[in-house]
């Protein structure tokens, strides 16, 4: 009788796990970057807890069609791959491990997190 109850409980738990939808995967932490405003001032932008596997065009980057953000800092728990082009396209990209930052020479317009 106890075996029957244990099997029924295990089957019920499995059905409950399969019925509950999974949450979207996200990198935990903050991704920071610097950019120049339209008036020429230095500014810092950030993305909090970015969704993993989705390309994010960096706000403020290239709004005038010529400039890009620079000096990215990956303060998340996931690897960030930054791209010079919007839409996470092109041959110019660089991977930043969790907790790493790059110099002002690294220009970025989009990022995707693993």
Could you tell me if 107 and 47 are in contact, meaning their C-beta atoms sit under 8 angstroms apart?
no
Q: Is 10 part of a structural domain of the chain? A: no
pTM listed for this prediction: 0.74
Q: Is 17 part of a structural domain of the chain? A: no
**Structural domain harbouring 77:** 29-113
With a cut of 70, list the residues of the chain below it in pLDDT.
Answer: 1-24, 61-66
Q: Is 71 part of a structural domain of the chain? A: yes
Q: Is 81 part of a structural domain of the chain? A: yes
Q: Is 35 part of a structural domain of the chain? A: yes
pLDDT value at position 19? Answer: 41
Q: Is 89 part of a structural domain of the chain? A: yes
Could you tell me if 75 and 32 are in contact, meaning their C-beta atoms sit under 8 angstroms apart?
yes
CA distance 60 to 39: 12
47-77 tens-digit pLDDT = 999 999 999 999 776 555 557 899 999 999 9
User: How many folded domains does the chain comprise?
Assistant: 1
Q: What is the CATH number of the domain that holds 34?
A: 2.60.20
Give the 3-state secondary structure of residue 18. Answer: helix
pLDDT value at position 51? Answer: 96
């Amino acid at each position: 009788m106890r075996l029957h109850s244990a099997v029924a409980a295990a089957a019920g738990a499995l059905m409950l796990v399969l019925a509950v939808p999974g949450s979207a995967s996200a990198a935990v932490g903050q991704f920071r970057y610097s950019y120049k405003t339209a008036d020429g001032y230095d500014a810092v932008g950030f993305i909090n807890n970015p969704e993993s596997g989705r390309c994010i065009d960096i706000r403020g980057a290239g709004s005038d069609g010529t400039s890009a953000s620079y000096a990215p800092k990956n303060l998340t728990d996931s690897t960030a791959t930054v791209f010079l082009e919007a839409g996470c396209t092109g041959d110019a990209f660089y991977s930043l491990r969790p907790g790493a930052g790059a110099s002002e020479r690294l220009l970025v317009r989009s990022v995707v997190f693993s």
